[in-house]
Chain A
Amino acid sequence: MQGIGSAGTANGSGNIPPTMTGTLGLVDAAQGLLAAGELEEGATGAGVLLLADGGRYEGELFGAVGVGAGELVFTTGMTGFQESLTDPSFAGQVLTFTYPLIGNYGAQLGCSESSGVWPRGVVVRHAMEVPDHRDSVGNLDSLLRLHGVCGIQAVDTRAITRRVREFGTLLCVFGPLADEESLRARLEKMLPPDLEDLVAQVSIDEPVILNQGATDHEGRALPRLGVLDCGIKYNILRELSRRFEVVWSPPDIGYGRLKKEFVIQALFCSNGPGDPAHPGKATQARLALAAAVADGMPTMGICLGHQLLGLASGLQTYKMRYGHRGANQPVLDLAKNTVLITSQNHGFAVADPKHGMLAQHPSGLCSEVQENLLGAEVKVSFINSNDQTVEGLEVVGKPAFSIQFHPEACPGPHDASPLFDRFAQMVSTHLRGES
């Protein structure tokens, strides 16, 4: 009997190999809610949200006691609050939900995209106290308290959204109204989180083989895939595990080690937070990615992984005015001339080789021009049909491509999920060609 509880994407549910129906053993951010009685007291009372441009919004505090501080962004998705909160790409940011009623169906096991809650603050119009869903194990407030994240509600989220839209993402801080002076002082001293090595904060430290010995439905061993974790979402791991034996690796593991020690047959680079041009672990991941492509290994990148491929190809990356965050971004597939509705979460983008930088942030933040490390040219394969920004790249003559959007969805529509099949196909064609 088919139900909406069953996992899987539109076309993926039939393809799950029997050996892979079990859990991958991923630690869910909502698990701690099963013992919610032990949670610490949450924040209450009047709060204030201060924006770097002078904006000020009074509201009510919830979630953990403390101060929320980071780069203020908004997401327009109407569902999927838990998936967003646990998406490591939000590290360093304060996340505003434009939909006013958040947490209607509660936090649920199996809906987390990592083991943590990553925004450094959450801004909502209404944090719904009493969720209603058969799978709910707690409300938004308790999920934030569990992970020590502060929230503020009863603020005018549409006004905030308009501000961000008009002035670009900007720094913000919020906390108790009584502490306004100290909050303001803190805001003045605050540095952009982009300067931190955010990737290092959200990625794993040691490689793990996720599904050793996995086979397809005919019992053949699946190809082995190296996955560079820059802050990977669980559903990417789930999607990849259905098609590959996955070596879940730190971003700085290096291509040489992956190839020699783990004998990978293909490489994947994940999504993640921050500036792709950051000299820290993002750069390490970029070098590994470039080496793999240059080596002729089948390679795929998503989101940050896509931006890293762009940088490696000699294109520039830049900070966008306010980015794309939501579940309704239309993307034009230039090969097929069709539109996919995609899930997105990014604040940086690859500069279009033809059109240059579109929708740029007022700060003008942009990477230096660097040489092409791929040994091949790239061409744009997808663009955003709203603002024409680059949404996908293909390496000409090599089995490598990248996309800015999230085919794993979670949250968001499944229109792009066939791209995982395309990658698997690319790998198997490549392997057949080799043997």
Chain B
Amino acid sequence: MPRRTDIQRVMILGSGPIKIGQGAEFDFSGSQACRALREDGFEVILVNSNPATIQNDPEMADRVYIEPLLPDVVRGILELEKPDALLAGMGGQTALNIASELAHDGTLERLGVELIGSDLEAIDKAENRGLFKKVCESIGLPVPLAIACDSIAEVLAAAEELGNWPLLVRPAFTLGGLGGGTVWNTGELVEISTLGLRNSRINQVLIEESIIGWQEHEYEVMRDSNDNCIIVCTMENIDPMGVHTGESIVVAPQQSLSDRDHQHLRDCSLALIRELNISGGCNVQFAVNQSTGEIRVIEVNPRVSRSSALASKATGYPIARMAAKIAVGYTLDELPNPITGHGTTAAFEPTLDYCVVKIPRWPFDKFRTADRTLGTSMKSTGEVMAIGRCFEEAFLKAWASLEVGHPHPRPLTRADESEGEGMSERAHKPLAERTMVEWLEVATDRRMTALIEAFRRGWSVEQVHEVTRMTRWFLHRFANIAATEAEVVDCDAASPMLIDEDDLWRWKGLGMSDAYICDALAGFPVTGYNALSSEVGETAVMRRRHLFGIHPRYRMVDSCAAEFAAATPYYYSTYEGGQESGIDFIPELQERKKERVVVLGSGPIRIGQGIEFDYCCVHAVMAIRESGRDAIIINNNPETVSTDFDTSDRLYFEPISLECVTEVLLREQAHGILLQFGGQTALNLAIPLEERIPTLGEHGLQTRIFGTSPDAIDQASDRQRFAEFARLAGLRIPNGLTGKTSDDVRAAAAKIGFPILIRPSYVLGGRGMEILTNEQQLSAYLAEAYIAPNKPLLVDEYLGHATELDVDAVSDGEQVLVGAIMEHLEEAGIHSGDSTCFIPPQNIGEEMLTRVRKQTETIGLGLKIVGCFNIQFALQGERLYVLEVNPRSSRTVPFVAKSSGVPLARIAARLTLGEKLRDLNIPEPNNTLVCVKVPVFPFIKLRGLDPAPGPEMKSTGEVMGSDITAEVAYLKARMATEIPVNTTGGVYLTVRDEDKQGLIPVALQLSDLGMKIYATPGTAHALRDGGVQCEIAYRIAEGKSPDALGLMRRGEIQFIVNVPTISGGAIRDGNMMRRLAVEMNIPFVTTMNGARMEVAAIRAAGQGPTTPQRLQVSYLDGRGI
């Protein structure tokens, strides 16, 4: 069936803010869907609250709404726009839930809007456990066995029948499985079941077989309305059942199933998608018992998902694009396959001639107190993917892409257990065997390091299997990595310049980086491979390699194992010992007239470096292509738009490491490279790359770093150099000192005086940044902090009661363009990434704004910035301080672009290529609306993390609201965070002494709004003096009733103002209350300004529904640039 002609206008729902479990993959799928539909002439209306995505760029959709993704809001937009159809399958669970609600309440029918792409019945069947089980049973597919029991006698009989331990006890009808659990013997079974029977509303428990330890396999399936079905990709999890697939290391294609096994699962997948009547994409998860061959169907996702994004990038098959086309009537055989071209169609199963490995990126490097255990819920913020011709190569490349810990395996020492004082000494002692076993046993982010370590220490595959239950095939691969590493360590070559050619080919073929080889050759020195001299370091290995002409081969991800001449410009590197060069070459590279510019991506999404940088990279690519040059992307994040096969002229799926970037530059004979769009990852390569450029010249490559020079980058980043610059330029900066030892730091603190702001240098997202108020806190901090001569700590004067301003600007070296000045709601001291900010500033006078613009210009021109830069200012009274200059694009660039209509990243890219601001046609900034950006936090997913913003960044994403008034704009953004804005009920207030006076007007307003006030005795006393009626809620420690926790549990509290004393250390007062608030989804604020704004939002919410604002900016005005 061809394209439907009865629909013209389609609304697509996005997935809202980036959060754990719902990440950038939906920007990728939504963007693909927009493009797929618009190229067919559909008018696309897009709704998404997340300002950082590409999909809600003004040129991605015809009409864009950056509005909360809530049923009421979407209903309002539907009424306004009256589209013909709603496509909800691209926006994850968020979008599906909204579509489901709007269908069930009759809105869609009333407005004549057809839900396309996902069938509600199918969604219900797939997501309701009971219905799903029935569906599976009706077509003979096995689901985990479970027996319902009403008594202990029945429980014992059921256990007998199921046969194997452990068993799962699930009480029927309790909230969140209260009173259930995994049991390993009859004693535990009786104990837990007794409890379960009592807790259950109907006195029933389910005794279920446990499939912990089974293999987990995934199938990505596509189906069209004509019942054509294909499997796009199979994937196998290295972590056995029990760890969420999003938390597992995943391999594609599956490795350990025979054809017979695989075809059986394929049949099951097709039977399921047909029985559920899903058209579009879906994902089926199976558990397989490797020793018996038994299988169980675990679940089906009836939509594009994180897994489908991975499958798309692993195979080259654009699942979301095809799903969107299917939704508007096409069948698979009618759709050309954009990868293989030449008459091939989308009704085709990709076949791979490589191995793909995905590793999740966890935030435990930042959140040291968070519980690292991996289980059935997600904790990772992003992921990396790597491709190789063998598993080992793909795995080691993925490891190198993670940018956490070491870039390659290293023998584990006691310093890997914990950082902090004495770390250098502990680095000499091997990790205790007991600790290693623990790391193997309990799935955490550390397990992969322990796997290699176990083989390094001589463990056998059987021994490791016994502890981890991982499939032996993978364990053999890890053993092979350890064995090859030992070969390097024991090798006769005293220096890289003596390595044998055959050895080098073999090591490289296994995926060992130059850095890994030099590190192993040097016997893994405690000081790290970076400290090795140039004769024995990474560059020496590269030189040896180049001497033998050992370069990677670049292979195409063509979805057909080279059977057809594919058109896709999507490559990965591999070191195969083949003599044939020019395989998968770039046609006529040497003859090309076009200049080639490489853009470094930002790697995995992590806290502090999110999707915003991918947005910037994509815009840089657009600018490069518009300027008539070829744009080349290097990135390793499978979730993003930048790694879509048709975003750039050529895509290299590679670690963003010095070695990989060097080789791509050589292969591409690139004219230059852009570093300022990929966040800190890319920027950190500036100096090492600059040092390599002469070496590249030896290979005949004349290339350069475009934009701000590495020296200027260093001048902006190095505090001493920057302090000197600031002094000469007449800029005020906070007092600050650097400490290379603990004693240095203590002396610095004494000199500056508490409170101080302390942090490691050269970090992103304020990792390890804290405000300390006394010696004790400093000692506690030093015990955990990693400090070494090459990793000093920065100690700054803490500016109290200061307003923070963020500026994003661009410069061409002669002129500076300020994109926007943002005013933070929170005082300086809360990480800028975690603060709420406004465009335009709401409380700053024009004179001060002029000063800010002037200083921005001084800094841009003074540091000779070419391209983007971001400055954080603090305003204390009339004193304007420069806190930080980042000579790169920032996380607020997309927010600025969508608020003002000035596409900063794109303009910056043009400037880096040598154009001048005066020659560009810059669109006039739009200033009709107030725009607010509000962060979204992962507190619900990460236990052990204090749910309060501080100087260290904790948010995973953000939302934007815009409206005529600041109050409504803020209200919209607050609603978009998915934490309710409650307009009735009780409020619990507890603030520091210094804020008690300021709280009185806030409390009076809340009282006026009809809310009941509870306060701690001290706060209550002050409030009553100020004429506020309130009730006492005791501190938990006081042990009196009522206390805050009790009130919250009883549902008496709908909003909390909790301003803690300046933080210090991990455990803070109020932590327990905030934790409970997170779990009960009760809104809370931890600053006075936050409290004032929330009250304004509550007032605005009481005035009826908000009016959706269509995004009115357009970059098209700037097309002429």
Contact check, A158 vs B353: say whether CB atoms are below 8 A apart: yes
Q: Kindly name the residue among A77, A133, A326 whose own CB sees the greatest number of chain B CB atoms within 10 A.
A: A133
Does B258 sit at the interface, judged by CB under 8 A? yes
CA distance A133 to B256 in the complex (A): 7
- Pick the contact of B578: A156, A326, A412, A413 (CB < 8 A): A156
User: Are A4 and B265 touching (Cβ within 8 A)?
Assistant: yes
A406 at the interface (CB under 8 A from B): no
Is the pair A161, B561 in contact by a Cβ cutoff of 8 Å?
Answer: yes
Chain A proximity of B501: nearest CB distance (Å): 13
B-chain residues with CB within 8 Å of residue A414 when the two chains form the complex: 263, 266-267
Is A2 a contact partner of B140 (Cβ separation < 8 A)?
Answer: yes
> Which one of A108, A126, A328, A411 contacts B349 once the chains associate, using CB atoms below 8 Å?
A328
Residues of A with C-beta under 8 A to B349: 327-328, 330, 341, 413
Q: From A411, which residue of chain B is reached at the shortest CB distance?
A: B259
Q: Does B555 contact A (CB under 8 A)?
A: yes
Which candidate, A194-202, A239-247, A381-389, is the interface stretch facing chain B?
Answer: A381-389
Give the docked Cα–Cα distance between A117 and B555 (Å).
31
Contact A76 B583 (CB under 8 A): no
Q: Answer yes or no: A217 CB below 8 A from chain B CBs.
A: no
A34-70 Cβ-contact flags toward B at 8 Å (1 or 0)? 0000000000000000000001111000000000000
Query: Once the chains bind, are A341 and B345 in contact (CB under 8 Å)?
Result: no
Partner of A161, one of B257, B265, B562: B562
Question: In chain B, what residue has the closest Cβ to A80?
Answer: B259
Nearest-Cβ distance from residue A353 to partner chain B, whole angstroms = 20
CA distance A165 to B111 in the complex (A): 54
Q: A135 within 8 Å of B by Cβ? A: yes
* B263–A341 CB distance below 8 A: no
- Chain A positions within 8 Å of B565 at CB level: 165
CB distance from A235 to the nearest CB of B (A): 10
Select which of A4, A157, A385 is within 8 A of B353 by beta carbon: A157
Q: Does any Cβ of A come within 8 Å of B712's Cβ?
A: no
Q: Which residue in chain B gives the minimum CB-CB distance to A79?
A: B259
Per-residue contact bits, chain B 281-321, to A (CB 8 Å; 1 contact, 0 not): 00000001011111100000000000000000000000000
Contact A101 B351 (CB under 8 A): no
Please, how many angstroms separate the alpha-carbon atoms of A165 and B563 in the complex?
6
| Residue A189, interface by CB 8 Å | no
**Nearest CB of B to A141, in Å:** 15
Instruction: Determine the residue in chain A with the shortest Cβ distance to B351.
Output: A76
Min Cβ gap A33→B in Å is 15
**Contact segment of B222-230, B621-629, B752-760:** B222-230
Given contacts A100-B355, A132-B471, contact A2 B142 (CB under 8 A): yes
Inter-chain contact B347/A339, CB cutoff 8 Å:
yes
Query: A1 contacts which chain B residues (CB < 8 A)?
Result: 142, 294
Q: Which residue of A lies closest to B293 (CB)?
A: A5
Expressed in whole angstroms, the minimum distance between the Cβ of B349 and any Cβ of chain A is 4
Q: Which residues of B contact A105 (CB under 8 A)?
A: 256-258, 261, 473
A 89-134 contacts with B by CB, 8 A: 98-101, 104-105, 108, 111, 125-126, 130-134
- CB-CB under 8 A for A161 and B353, given A1-B294, A339-B228, A412-B259: yes
Complex interface residues of chain B between 306 and 364 (CB less than 8 A to chain A):
332-333, 343-345, 347-355
Is B561's CB under 8 angstroms from A330's CB? no
**B561 and chain A: residue at smallest CB distance:** A98
CB distance from B618 to the nearest CB of A (A): 30
Cβ-based interface call for A78 (8 A) = yes
Chain A residue contacts of B17, Cβ below 8 A: none
Q: By the criterion CB–CB under 8 Å, are B255 and A98 in contact? A: no
Q: How distant is A121 from chain B, measured CB to nearest CB, in Å?
A: 18
Find the B residue at minimum CB distance from A58: B579
Partner of B293, one of A4, A76, A104, A131: A4
A365 at the B interface (CB under 8 A):
no
CB-defined interface of A405-431 with B at 8 Å, one 1/0 digit per residue? 000011111100000000000000000
When distances are taken between beta carbons in the complex, the residues of chain A under 8 Å from B583 are 156, 158-159, 162
**For the complex, is B271 an interface residue (Cβ under 8 Å from A)?**
yes
* Chain B residues positioned under 8 Å from A101 (CB to CB): 255, 355, 390-391
Chain B nearest Cβ from A339, distance in angstroms: 4
Listed A/B pairs (29) with beta-carbon separation below 8 Å = A2-B141, A2-B294, A2-B295, A4-B295, A5-B292, A9-B267, A10-B270, A57-B578, A57-B580, A58-B577, A80-B258, A98-B562, A99-B253, A104-B256, A105-B261, A111-B259, A132-B472, A155-B578, A159-B583, A327-B259, A328-B350, A330-B333, A330-B348, A339-B333, A385-B333, A385-B348, A386-B343, A386-B344, A386-B345
Interface residues of A (CB under 8 A from B): 1-7, 9-10, 55-58, 74, 76-80, 83, 98-101, 104-105, 108, 111, 125-126, 130-135, 154-159, 161-162, 165, 326-328, 330, 332, 337-339, 341, 385-388, 409-414
13 more contacts with CB within 8 A, not counting A9-B267, A339-B345, A385-B345, are A76-B353, A83-B259, A99-B253, A101-B391, A104-B473, A111-B260, A162-B583, A326-B561, A326-B563, A330-B347, A341-B231, A388-B343, A410-B260
